[in-house]
């Protein structure tokens, strides 16, 4: 039996379909044949909130408002400070362009127009840890940095357009998590169509 058959249960599939909404076909595909292991060794230093490494797993693509969701779960308990993935919750609401595609570096440039994201992605941002403690409203959208922690059986689901990064492991044991990505077939094909045409003038936003 494949690992995915143990992790992607009927209950989880049902939740993903519900997230896609009533207009979704109820079908989705995964990026890979098997889920991916996320493994981070302890580094023996004090934990900190990174200002580098923030990225998207998929670009913002015009006409694709809900490309998919990424699942995170745990093979061993992961506590705060143990390299649980960091997610800027709410960031996905700012990354869909009117035309073409919007890559990570350009998404970050746009997000930095807002003070909260400038603080997040700046080495000298004031009170950066407060970004994890409190929600900040940005154009009516609540934004907060969340650390994905939990125990085996716990599941986090993240919009794949969310800004996220790897975190330091200041604990005394490795971080062992598993991730899988679920994409609507229609959204996947539209993304691939944009990539195939990315050389056309005016389509790719840089």
In this structure, is residue 206 part of a structural domain? no
What's the rounded mean pLDDT across residues 129-144?
94
pLDDT(21) > 80: no
In this structure, is residue 205 part of a structural domain? no
**175-183 and 29-30 strand pairing:** antiparallel
- What is the Cα–Cα distance from 13 to 70, expressed in whole angstroms? 12
- Higher-pLDDT residue of 44 and 22 is 44
Question: pLDDT-based confidence at 197, cuts 50/70/90?
Answer: low
What's the rounded mean pLDDT across residues 78-83?
97
What's the rounded mean pLDDT across residues 158-178?
95
pLDDT of residue 66: 80
104: left (phi over 0), alpha (psi -120 to 50) or beta: alpha
Three-state SS annotation for 86-127: EEEECHHHHCCCCCCEECHHHHHHHHCCCHHHHHHCCCCCCC
Q: For the whole model, what pTM was predicted? A: 0.86
Q: Show the tokens assigned to 140.
A: 């009516």
In this structure, is residue 163 part of a structural domain? yes
Evaluate whether 89 touches 146 at the Cβ level (below 8 Å): yes
In this structure, is residue 189 part of a structural domain? yes
What's the rounded mean pLDDT across residues 2-24?
76
Sign of CA dihedral 144, 145, 151, 154: positive
- Higher-pLDDT residue of 153 and 127 is 153
Range of the domain at 8: 3-196
In this structure, is residue 71 part of a structural domain? yes
Mean pLDDT across the chain:
85
In this structure, is residue 201 part of a structural domain? no
Question: pLDDT-based confidence at 164, cuts 50/70/90?
Answer: very high
| CA 143 to the chain's CA centroid | 14
pLDDT(202) > 80: no
Evaluate whether 69 touches 179 at the Cβ level (below 8 Å): no
Lowest mean pLDDT among 30-44, 133-147, 171-185: 30-44
In this structure, is residue 64 part of a structural domain? yes
**141-147 and 60-61 strand pairing:** unpaired
pLDDT of residue 22: 67
CATH number for the domain spanning 115: value is 2.60.120
Q: Show the tokens assigned to 42.
A: 């302890």
- What is the Cα–Cα distance from 175 to 39, expressed in whole angstroms? 5
Residues 6 or more apart from 193 whose CB is under 8 A from it?
A: none
Evaluate whether 205 touches 101 at the Cβ level (below 8 Å): yes
Burial class (CB in 10 A: 0-12, 13-18, 19+), 12: middle
Domain count of the chain? 1
In this structure, is residue 14 part of a structural domain? yes
């Amino acid at each position: 039996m494949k690992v995915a058959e143990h992790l992607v249960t009927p209950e989880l599939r049902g939740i993903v379909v519900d997230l896609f909404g009533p207009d979704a076909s109820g079908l989705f595909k995964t990026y890979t044949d098997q889920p991916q292991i996320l493994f981070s060794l302890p580094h023996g230093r004090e934990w900190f909130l990174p200002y580098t490494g923030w990225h998207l797993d998929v670009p913002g693509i015009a006409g694709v408002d809900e490309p998919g969701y990424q699942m995170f779960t745990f093979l061993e308990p992961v506590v705060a400070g143990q390299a649980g993935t960091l997610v800027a919750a709410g960031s996905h609401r700012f990354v869909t362009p009117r035309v073409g595609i919007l890559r990570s570096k350009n998404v970050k440039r746009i997000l930095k127009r807002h003070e909260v994201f400038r603080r997040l992605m700046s080495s000298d941002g004031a009170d950066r840890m407060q970004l994890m403690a409190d929600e900040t409203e940005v154009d009516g959208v609540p934004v907060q940095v969340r650390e994905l922690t939990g125990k085996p059986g716990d599941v986090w689901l993240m919009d794949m357009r969310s800004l996220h990064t790897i975190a330091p492991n200041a604990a005394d044991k490795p971080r062992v998590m598993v991730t899988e990505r679920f994409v609507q077939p229609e959204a996947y094909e539209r993304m691939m169509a944009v990539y195939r045409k990315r050389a056309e003038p005016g389509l790719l936003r840089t």
